[in-house]
Amino acid sequence: MAATRSARARKATAEAGALATVTIDVGADDSFVYRIGCSECTTSASARATGRTQRRAWSTYRPGADNGYLAAMDRWTFHLTEQHPGQEAPCLAYLEAAQQRLHERRQH
């Protein structure tokens, strides 16, 4: 039996830790699209209609990229280690595996 979207979101939230906000959308190809946001960090985003730069919450979502669970959690793990050193989260146990996957992607 496949897990529901809300069950997947609860699991991802528990793994990501206290700074994370997790939402799961359904993509055009009916796959789950994970967005893990940081409750403390913002990034600039240009508003195309106005031409102004606005601030928004940092997120693992990347248009056109792999936004599945593993890719999003890897991006989140790297964000935590780089921007919030010392912050505790269960996903940090998989940091070495995430670094290995990144290394393999960069070689191809």
Question: pLDDT tens for residues 64-78?
Answer: 788 999 999 999 999
pLDDT of residue 2: 72
**Angstrom distance (rounded) from CA 44 to CA 108:** 30
The answer to whether residues 19 and 87 touch, using CB atoms and an 8 Å cutoff, is yes
The H-or-E segment that residue 54 falls in is strand 53-59
The answer to whether residues 88 and 17 touch, using CB atoms and an 8 Å cutoff, is yes
pLDDT of residue 48: 62
Q: Which two tokens stand for residue 44?
A: 């600039």
Question: pLDDT tens for residues 3-17?
Answer: 899 999 999 999 999
pTM: 0.86
Among 12, 17, 69, 14, which residue's Cα sits nearest to residue 39? Answer: 17
